[in-house]
């Protein structure tokens, strides 16, 4: 392997592949996610970002869950389709993330040598919730990632993980693209449903 291809480089390239495939609703994204996050478990633990390391263990598990939902979930096990959450669901999610971040941030401050424990906790718990949204194809997940990725860039620069910081800067751009692609797909789903609902009426009209 070329000398410049470090573990961080490989993890970064696989993470980019994951996001590009996720934008296209391609279930192969979960394979890239599993390998990339396995590498990041080691990388983050090595620089004392313990919550980020634990987060990537969660990501590895979610790679299986996301693949299953995209391939076998939904109506008649044909895979989940893009959906939207209500304001109440978003408020509940944000409240839970803030509460969990406060608790784990305090624990990290008291019992570990973690850097930026509250920011580390916030990005971690927000990512936990948002990854679940991706697995369930909730449209607004891309908007959550915009906030998370912005905060993560500062976190990784502080720990001199410059390639990963660059990756998350790219994520900011891809998150915008991903949102527009999924929103368009969501609108097309609605059009398809309307057409399907209208078809029986058209047949009745023709018969009449």
Of the listed ranges 53-57, 64-68, 129-133, 147-151, the one predicted with least confidence: 53-57
31 vs 34: CA distance, rounded Å: 5
- Alpha-carbon dihedral of residues 169, 175, 180, 186, nearest 10 degrees? 170
Beta bridge partners of 83: 138
List pLDDT tens digits, range 86-103.
999 999 999 999 999 999
Q: Which structure tokens are listed for 166?
A: 């660059």
What is the widest separation between alpha-carbon atoms in the chain?
77
- Alpha-carbon dihedral of residues 52, 58, 59, 63, nearest 10 degrees? 170
11 vs 116: CA distance, rounded Å: 23
- pLDDT score for 55: 81
- 207: confidence class by pLDDT, cuts 50, 70, 90: low
| Residues, the chain | 208
List pLDDT tens digits, range 140-185.
999 999 999 999 999 889 888 888 788 889 989 999 999 999 999 9
125 vs 130: CA distance, rounded Å: 9
| Average per-residue pLDDT for the chain | 86
**What does the pLDDT average to over 41-50?**
83
Could you tell me which residue, 150 or 206, shows the higher pLDDT? 150
Could you tell me which residue, 120 or 76, shows the higher pLDDT? 120
In the chain the first and final C-alpha atoms are separated, in Å, by 71
Q: What SS3 string covers the chain?
A: CCCCCCHHHHHHHHHHHHHHHHHCCCCCHHHHHHHHHHHHHHHHHHCCCHHHHHHHHHHHHHHHHHHHHHHHCCHHHCCCCCECCCHHHHHHHHHHHHHHHHHHHHHHHHHCCCCCHHHHHHHHHHHHHHHHHHHCCECCHHHHHHHHHHHHHHHHHHCCCHHHHHHHHHHHHHHHHHHHHHHHHHHHHHHHHHHHHHHHHHHHHHHC
**What does the pLDDT average to over 39-63?**
86
- pLDDT score for 195: 42
- Alpha-carbon dihedral of residues 156, 159, 160, 163, nearest 10 degrees? -30
């Amino acid at each position: 392997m070329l000398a410049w291809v470090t573990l961080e480089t490989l993890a970064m390239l696989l993470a980019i592949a994951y996001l590009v495939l996720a934008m296209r609703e391609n279930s192969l994204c979960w394979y890239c996610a599993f390998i990339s996050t396995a590498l990041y478990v080691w990388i983050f633990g090595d620089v004392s970002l313990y919550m980020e390391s634990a987060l990537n263990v969660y990501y590895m598990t979610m790679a299986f869950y996301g693949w299953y939902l995209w391939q076998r979930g939904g109506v008649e096990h044909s895979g989940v389709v893009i959906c939207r959450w209500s304001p109440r669901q978003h408020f509940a999610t944000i409240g839970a993330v803030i509460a969990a971040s406060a608790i784990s941030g305090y624990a990290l401050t008291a019992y570990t040598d973690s850097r930026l424990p509250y920011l580390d906790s916030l990005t971690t718990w927000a990512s936990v919730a948002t990854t679940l949204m991706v697995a369930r194809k909730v449209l607004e997940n891309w908007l959550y990632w915009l906030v998370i990725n912005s905060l993560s860039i500062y976190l990784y620069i502080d720990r001199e993980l410059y390639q990963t910081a660059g990756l998350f800067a790219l994520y900011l751009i891809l998150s915008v693209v991903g949102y527009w692609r999924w929103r368009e797909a969501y609108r097309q789903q609605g059009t398809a449903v309307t057409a399907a609902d209208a078809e029986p009426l058209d047949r009745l009209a023709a018969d009449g």
